[in-house]
Amino acid sequence: MGTLTHLGIGTVYAWSFFQTPITKLSGWSNTEVAWVFSISIFMLGVSAAWGGTKIDKYGPRKLAIIGAVFYALGYIISSYALASNSLWLLYLAFGVLGGIGLGLVYVTPVATVSKWFTKKQGLATGIVIMGFGLGALVMSKLLAPLFLQLSNENLSKTFLYVGFTLIIILPFCASFLKLPPSNKTEAKSEQPVVSENLSPLKYIFSKSFIIIWLMFMINVVAGMVFISFQSPLLQDMLKLSMPPTTNFADAQIMSILNGAGATLIAVSSVFNGLGRFFWGAISDKIGRFTTFRILLALQVLIFVVLIFVSNPAWFFVLVCIILLCYGGGFGVIPSLIHDRYGANLMPVLYGAALTAWGVGGIVGPQIVAFMKDNYPENAGLYAFGISTVLLVIGFGLSYLYKKPKAIKQLTEYA
């Protein structure tokens, strides 16, 4: 049920499916529309950080159900925002309200499953988080096309129908989440490297945690470059490969371009989902930090290649590999934090780490949006160059990390 819950909220990753249609319908710029997605991901990170501190107090079921309702209401109110051409209402609805809902729903299944499965953390949490990565497939190939057809291509009604669907399904799935009866037995075998009777803030502001946060944030930025704009970027590349006489206002040509964009979203979402499961399981065998270094190094190589790629088919393949690595970051982080800081601190510190997702959710989409608005002919080239530099920095930071010292062993671990 945790995986199904994540599958529902992972529909947010299909935002690039709506990016171009919304700009054309409203007349808003790419940057203005991209802020809707950026605000949503930022609020996800903030609310996940808060939710991680409240799981033991309120329980995962209550937090997840409230979050599910908020996320669904975000779509429903966004329907009115699109109908009335109100950008600020769209920011508040999909961005703020929907983003808060996302954060509350996202952190609870991961923290809950982490407490149920204390061995093979990467595998267990990776399976749950895989659902989030696959959410874009559900939206781009099922929900959005179905509701667009039912509403005669009406975006406002499509958002309304999506909201009604989610408000029925998500709370039902979330209602099954619960913490295990006791963690004392499992805790005895975990032997965390830090003492859990110290304030979480001491660890959040430590050099080691800041390095983890920065590495995660950079990995998010790289993936968000494509999650927010993969469909428009692919369509731009396809247009360049077509004859100069092609009429891009033609309905049939537009249908081909939109179909190609939706297919990329769907296929890359599978890689996003599998990456969370695959890399999480790999990290169980070769170590969390070794896995993260591989993710960053591989993406440096891919982004350098992307700078020189003009073939849409190669672009398609390389985007899928980037999303495989992007998902891998989310598959490794929960178990990395669990291993380094212990089970009791995991929900709080994992929630704090997800603020990196929020920051990356602003930086990544805005890099591409700015380039498309100001340098449309070289938007991809410039965005890929910036991403390459950031990934190199992240790879370098991984070698500055030092494992936290064992401060004092708790009596419950003796």
Residue-wise pLDDT tens digits, 38-61: 899 999 989 988 988 888 888 889
Q: Which CATH number does the domain housing residue 297 bear?
A: 1.20.1250.20
Q: What is the pLDDT of residue 184?
A: 45
Q: What percent of the chain has pLDDT over 70?
A: 92
pTM for the full predicted model: 0.78
Q: Using alpha carbons only, give the angle 285, 290, 292 rounded to the nearest 5 degrees.
A: 110
Distance CA 403, CA 398 (A): 11
Cα–Cα distances (Å) from 70 to 29, 74, 77, 95, 330, in that order, read: 27, 6, 10, 11, 23
Tens-digit pLDDT profile for residues 223-238: 988 877 777 788 888 8
Residue 19 pLDDT class (50, 70, 90 cuts) = confident
pLDDT of 408 strictly over 60: no
The mean pLDDT value of the chain amounts to 85
Q: What is the pLDDT of residue 17?
A: 83
pLDDT of 249 strictly over 60: yes
Domain that holds residue 153: 2-179+186-413
**Contact (Cβ atoms closer than 8 angstroms) between residue 334 and residue 121:** yes
Tens-digit pLDDT profile for residues 283-295: 888 988 899 999 9
CA dihedral 123, 125, 129, 130 (to 10 degrees): 20
Distance CA 163, CA 102 (A): 13
Q: What is the pLDDT of residue 143?
A: 92
Task: Give me the residue label for tokens 């290649």.
Answer: 305
Reading the block at residue 95, the tokens are 């961005």
Mean pLDDT of 330-354: 85
Reading the block at residue 169, the tokens are 């399904």
- For 191, list phi and psi in degrees, rounded to 5: 50, 70
Residue 186 pLDDT class (50, 70, 90 cuts) = very low
pLDDT of 414 strictly over 50: no
**Residues written for the chain:** 414
| Total domains, the chain | 1
Tens-digit pLDDT profile for residues 137-179: 889 888 988 999 999 989 999 999 999 999 999 999 999 998 8
Closest listed residue to residue 345, CA positions, set 130, 150, 201, 188:
201
Distance CA 66, CA 54 (A): 13
Which of 118-150 are b and which e, b meaning 16 or more Cβ less than 10 Å from the residue's Cβ? beebbbbbbbbbbbbbbbbbbbbbebbbebbee
Amino acid (1-letter code) at residue 185: T
**H/E element holding 83?**
helix 60-83
pLDDT of 412 strictly over 80: no
Q: What is the pLDDT of residue 154?
A: 93
Cα 124 to chain centroid distance, Å, stands at 18
Residue 117 pLDDT class (50, 70, 90 cuts) = confident
Enumerate residues 6+ apart whose C-beta is below 8 A from 308: none
- For 4, list phi and psi in degrees, rounded to 5: -65, -35
Distance CA 52, CA 357 (A): 14
